[in-house]
Amino acid sequence: MRRYKRNKKNDIIIDLTSLLDVIFIVLLVVMAGQFTASKNQENALADQQTEAESKIEEAENMIAVYEDMIDTMDNVNKYVVAVSIAAPYNKEELHKREIKLLAEGNELKSFPLVGSETEEAFIELKKTLESFIKSNPDSPVILSLNDDDDKILYRDEKAITEILNELSGEYGNVYIKGNLSEVMP
């Protein structure tokens, strides 16, 4: 019998077809994944852009409202006079207090309250407020006691409230910020 010798160089056949198929399939899967990821990123970016545009529009609307409020306040300040009253005290020195009148950000006058002899200061406060009201007869005058101020003694708050209520009843152009008459009889 004759034996056939193999030819070493010619006998080896490597079939790359299936390897190329696998490589192309892997390449196709990777490309499809990249396409899907980029589509998801585009959608997320579009959503974020829409949200940003709505927030910008909301901010522009708020700016417009704020500008209208400033214009209104400027117009109101031309026609309405506001007087704020503060009566702070110091816990260490309860016998030394003072009443401050503020109008348009400026202090009009201050009245010291020393001890229990405060009647003169309250009379002077009422006279000052009356002269201020009479100097602005054509404008509404808004009187406000800093009611959110927790550094006011009850007796001072009650006396100031009575003065404000008297002035509101006496003059037709005087209004009290908040309804102090319901709080304080």
Question: Splitting the chain (185 residues) into consecutive groups of 10 residues, what average pLDDT does each group show?
Answer: 57 78 90 85 90 93 87 69 78 76 72 77 86 82 71 80 87 74 41
Domain residue limits, the chain: 15-79, 81-183
Task: Round to whole Å and give the CA distance between 141 and 84.
Answer: 11
Query: Cβ of 159: how many Cβ atoms within 10 Å?
Result: 21
Q: Report the pLDDT value the prediction gives residue 149, as an integer from 0 to 100.
A: 58
**Which CATH entry fits the domain spanning 81-183: 2.40.128, 3.30.420, 1.10.357, 2.60.40?**
3.30.420
Q: Report the pLDDT value the prediction gives residue 76, as an integer from 0 to 100.
A: 64
CA distances from 66 to 54, 69, 72, 74, 119 (A): 18, 5, 10, 12, 44
Task: Round to whole Å and give the CA distance between 66 and 72.
Answer: 10
Q: Report the pLDDT value the prediction gives residue 180, as an integer from 0 to 100.
A: 45
> What global pTM score does this model have?
0.53
Q: Which two tokens stand for residue 176?
A: 């009290």
